Amino acid sequence: MRNVRNISIIAHIDHGKTTLTDRILEITGAIEKRKMREQFLDSMDIERERGITIKSHPLRVFYKSKKDGKEYEINIVDTPGHVDFSYEVDRSLAAVEGAILLVDASQGVQAQTVANTYKALEHNLEIIPAINKIDLPNANVAETELEIEDLIGIPSSEILKISAKEGIGVEELLEDIIEKVPAPSGDESGKLKALIFDAKYDKYRGVIVYIRVFDGKVSVGNKIMTFSNGQSYEVIETGVFTPDMTPVDELKAGDIGYIIAGIKEVSLARIGDTITDANDPVEEPLEGYKEVKPMVFAGMFPGVPEYYEELRKALEKLKLNDSALVFYPDHSPALGFGFRCGFLGLLHMDVVKERLEREFEMTVILTAPNVEYKVLLKNGEELIVNDPAKFPDESTIQEVYEPYVKLSIITPPEYLGKLMNLVQNEKRGTMISTENAGFERVVLNFEVPLAEIIFDFFDKMKALSRGYASMDYEFIGYRKSDLVKVSILVNKEPVEALSIIAHKDKAYSMARKLVDKLAELIPQHQFEIPIQAKAGGRIIARSTIKALRKDVLAKCYGGDVTRKMKLLQKQKEGKKKLREIGNVSIPQEAFLALLKVGEDENK
């Protein structure tokens, strides 16, 4: 049996995964102390600033056990903490035999703690629970122990208490990993079978594929094949993470490392796919591969038309490293040429927008995000619509389906009523079950349309529960729904980029809020501007932006009435002219009016 342990760290956001990984690197001497900077592994600027881990970074350390004196290789796969990237967590867990379950002592078990623990159990991982941040004055170790006991049935005496920040208990944790997590099994002499659990694009070296080898071996010169698309490549380099990329002669069953094989973009090395020998492939791939589908869509336009080409190039470059990002050309009468983009969720959308700004110095106009609908037409045709502007005419529609998620909220019981009200009465959710989760915690499970939780749900939930509730969700499928398109007319002209899809019961109130918000956001002009919302062929809401009244009469000193009348007439004509041209200037923030409606309600 090899002295190898492969583990992952699972936790709710901010419970200390990155800090723990940093400490392990330090304790095992993988990184000299003086080179250590906080969050060594979070390499993307955005990750560092926001203090969140988006991409997983594996690493290999060596630790000499104080118990048996032997040296062990420990491979740690860090996982993303945000629900947008939960598929990546799932694939990282498929690459290991054990998981450290890290829980913040001041916050206790949270929604993602539970979601990730279930995932780890599904993968039959050995779970090692550890309560972190015991150094905090508001650490509540006893309650957290009870919650963990309740979650996985491990007695509190076996739960480690650590401070990742101060290094307390971290060596004991390493000893526990060696003792409890099984060494990887697998057949080194079998056919190559490896899991892709991440991939990164490098400017100079092409795609670097992060793999866990389950059976067989792989080394330089081998011809490999990615199972899902049958593409084959020659291996140029194999290596491990120390944490820097360090070449090794071969990777064999049980190993975690990387390969470089001249793959041009990450979308060809898909997370969850199986790598095998191109000349002697396995018959069955590893289980559980799913194609990652974007869930949230928005229009993206360069502020200035001349920047269209530049934006296309920037998106192509981002795509090299981000297979979840999709985009295709789009045109809007109001915003010109641009792209329709698909994202995993709103955080992913923000990350893309920020990367465009930082790495490519591009400021873009994003339209309000929406989900993807399935529309069955009366003529039997089925359409996939992810742009409200392209929603078919109501008279041609037979049925509409929208994506639903299973939403789990964990909360102290006192906020239960308010949260149930939020989900069921405001967000079209249906309660499925409630469970007790240890000490003073309730888990609420709902089925909710995804569209209802992508905007402002998180903030509302936090506000209603004073920050105590946490949530997690997963896609469960499409459901039939009563949806209508609400079009917006500015100065009688339809502005498709402002259209939204709403549930029939909410169309009126959403339309009302949207036109009011637009009337606030669009500046006054020389003429009056009606803002109308139209659904099912009728105007259902209207708001008016008053004209800026130029004080034309100021020029008339005397009491010459006819002159006054003439001027007023002229002004009226002027107004008419402008209206005919219809040149209302709509500021960028108006295209996000829908999001702003939500923000106001949270105040």
Binding-site positions read 14-19, 132-135
Taking the complex as a whole, the smallest distance from the CB of residue 15 to ligand GTP amounts, in Å, to: 5
Per rule CB under 6 A, is residue 17 in the interface with ligand GTP? yes
**Do the Cβ atoms of 332 and 389 come closer than 8 Å?**
yes
Number of H helices, E strands in the chain: 14, 31
CB 52 to ligand GTP: min, Å: 3
By CB atoms closer than 10 A (0-12, 13-18, 19+), residue 268 is middle
- Measured in residues, the chain has a length of 603
* Among 121-129, 131-139, 245-253, 310-318, the segment contacting ligand GTP (CB under 6 A): 131-139
The residue type of 459 is D
Q: Binding of ligand GTP at residue 499 (CB under 6 A)? A: no
- Does 161 help bind ligand GTP (rule: CB under 6 A)? no
Q: In the stretch 136-155, what mask flags binding to ligand GTP with x, by CB under 6 A?
A: x-------------------
Q: Please tell me whether residue 11 binds ligand GTP under the rule CB under 6 A.
A: yes
Q: Which of 6, 8, 28, 53 binds ligand GTP (CB under 6 A)?
A: 53
Locate 153 and state its tokens.
């049935």
- What six digits make up the tokens of 88? 């990546």
Residue 357 vs residues 49, 296, 315, 350, 582: alpha-carbon distances, Å: 15, 20, 12, 11, 32
- How many residues bind to ligand GTP according to rule CB under 6 A? 19
Contact yes or no for 287/360 (Cβ under 8 A): no
| Residue 163 within binding range of ligand GTP, rule CB under 6 A | yes
Give min distance, CB of 258 to ligand GTP, in A.
Answer: 21
Region binding ligand GTP by CB under 6 A among candidate stretches 130-138, 519-527, 538-546, 580-588: 130-138
* Contact residues for 29 (Cβ-Cβ < 8 A; gap 6+): none
- Give the residue with the Cβ less far from ligand GTP, 462 or 575: 462
52 close to 82: Cβ distance less than 8 angstroms: yes
Is residue 132 part of the contact set for ligand GTP (CB under 6 A)? yes
Q: Tell me if 52 contacts ligand GTP by CB under 6 A.
A: yes
**Number of other CB atoms surrounding residue 491 within 10 Å:** 21
Q: Does 111 bind ligand GTP (CB under 6 A)?
A: no
Give the residue with the Cβ less far from ligand GTP, 81 or 369. 81
Q: Convert 406-418 into a string of H (helix), E (strand) and C (coil).
A: EEEEEECHHHHHH
160 binds ligand GTP, rule: CB under 6 A: no
Residue 180's φ and ψ, nearest 5 degrees, are -100, -35
Closest CB to ligand GTP among 13 and 225? 13
Residue 103 to residue 97: CA distance in whole angstroms:
20
Binding residues for ligand GTP restricted to 70-109, rule: CB under 6 A: 81
Which phi-psi region, left, alpha or beta, contains residue 201 (left: φ > 0; alpha: ψ -120 to 50)?
beta
C-alpha 201/C-alpha 223 separation (Å) is 20
- Our finding on whether 19 is near ligand GTP (CB under 6 A) is yes
95 backbone dihedrals φ, ψ, rounded to 5°: -95, -5
The CB-side HSE value for 241 (13 A sphere, CA atoms) comes to: 24
Q: Which residue has the tokens 């892709």?
A: 196
**How many Cβ atoms are within 10 Å of 115's Cβ, its own excluded?**
22
Minimum CB distance to ligand GTP, residue 259 (Å): 26
Quick one: which of 51, 190, 467, 477 contacts ligand GTP (CB under 6 A)?
51
Q: How many CA atoms lie within 13 Å of 598's alpha carbon, on the beta-carbon side?
A: 19
Closest CA to 342 of 363, 318, 325: 325
Q: Which residue is nearest to ligand GTP (CB)?
A: 81
Contact status, residue 495 vs residue 589, Cβ threshold 8 Å? no
Residue 14 contacts ligand GTP per CB under 6 A: yes
Binding region for ligand GTP (CB under 6 A) out of 158-166, 444-452, 546-554, 595-603: 158-166
- The CB-of-9 to ligand GTP minimum distance in angstroms stands at 8
Which of 13/256 has CB closer to ligand GTP?
Answer: 13
Is the separation of the CB atoms in 78 and 17 below 8 Å?
A: yes
- Please state, as a whole number, how many other Cβ atoms lie within 10 Å of the Cβ of residue 565: 10
Q: Which of 68, 71, 135, 599 binds ligand GTP (CB under 6 A)?
A: 135
Q: Which of 123, 165, 462, 563 binds ligand GTP (CB under 6 A)?
A: 165
81/439 Cα distance (integer angstroms)? 24
Interface residue with ligand GTP, options 6, 7, 10, 13 (CB under 6 A): 13
Among 6, 7, 10, 18, binds ligand GTP (CB under 6 A): 18
**Based on CB atoms, which residue is closest to ligand GTP, 471 or 510?**
471
Closer of 136 and 220 to ligand GTP (Cβ):
136
With CB under 6 A as the contact rule, the residue among 83, 164, 344, 540 that binds ligand GTP is 164
Could you list the residues known to form a binding site for GTP, using ranges.
Answer: 14-19, 132-135
Nearer to ligand GTP, 84 or 447 (CB): 84
How far apart are alpha carbons 116 and 79 in whole angstroms? 10
Judged by CB under 6 A, the chain residues 574 through 593 that form the site for ligand GTP are: none
Which positions lie near ligand GTP, rule CB under 6 A?
11, 13-19, 51-53, 81, 132-133, 135-136, 163-165
